[in-house]
Amino acid sequence: MSVDLVHIRQIMAESDCLYTEAEVEAAIDAVAGKINAELAERNPVVFCVMNGGLIFAGKLMTKLNFPLELSYLHASRYRNETSGGELFWKAKPEISFIDRDVLIIDDILDEGHTLGAIIDFCRHAGAAAVHTAVLIDKDHQRKARPDLKANYVGLRCIDRFIFGYGMDYKGYWRNAPGIFAVKGL
């Protein structure tokens, strides 16, 4: 199906900015400070959750001041839609992390199915500890596991469909310099 770029541009034009670029950058700085304080001696393996985690992970990485290994994994349940489905593993981790601390980096903790499944996977695969960092945690009562909290959270947002800083609208606007909510969603 061809993409209607007029619609894609209109989504940006009509969106509500929830956080400016400066606000997001300040939040990433704050997360980096906490991770530096807590994980510097842990020699972690860091996994960026593709695709959405890419910008946050990239921005965060150069602010971490201790030795770490960086890789990625790819799990997806939205597939360019605005509501989630079944979790699909596109790529499991390639670096061994048995008896190592793992730090998972993703863009958003929404219903939490994705992060929950990744944490379970890492634990079952032998991680010594699993730490999680998300750029944004969405406020609502639909969490898959209400007790599942990310260790490091940059920002919180209202219950709307958002894009920017790695998060997409129909595959687009992951590059948007701020966090925006789609009009009407």
Q: Build a one-symbol-per-residue string for 51-90: x at contacts with ligand PRP by CB under 6 A, - elsewhere.
A: xx-----------------------xxx-----x------
The single-letter DSSP state of residue 169 is B
Amino acid at 111: E
- Does the footprint of ligand PRP cover residue 49 (CB under 6 A)? yes
Query: How many C-beta atoms surround the C-beta of residue 129 within 10 A?
Result: 15
CA 170-94-155 angle, 5° bins: 45
- Does the footprint of ligand PRP cover residue 112 (CB under 6 A)? yes
Q: Which does 15 bind (CB under 5 to 8 A by kind): ligand PRP, ligand GUN, none?
A: none
Query: Which residues lie across from 137 on neighbouring strands?
Result: 109, 156
Instruction: Tell the smallest beta-carbon distance from residue 162 to ligand GUN (Å).
Output: 4
CA proximity to 183, closest of 1, 54, 13: 13
Q: Which does 19 bind (CB under 5 to 8 A by kind): ligand GUN, ligand PRP, none?
A: none
Contact 168, 79 (CB under 8 A): no
Q: Which does 151 bind (CB under 5 to 8 A by kind): ligand GUN, ligand PRP, none?
A: none
Residues 88-117 binding ligand GUN (CB under 6 A) are 108, 110
**Residue from the set 59, 60, 93, 106 that interacts with ligand PRP by CB under 6 A:** 106
Query: How many C-beta atoms surround the C-beta of residue 170 within 10 A?
Result: 15
Q: Which is nearer to ligand GUN, 152 or 163 (CB)?
A: 163
Contact 175, 10 (CB under 8 A): no
Query: Which residues lie across from 104 on neighbouring strands?
Result: 47, 132
Tell me which residues touch ligand PRP (CB under 6 A): 49, 51-52, 76-78, 84, 106-115, 168
Tell me which residues touch ligand GUN (CB under 6 A): 78, 108, 110, 161-163, 167-168
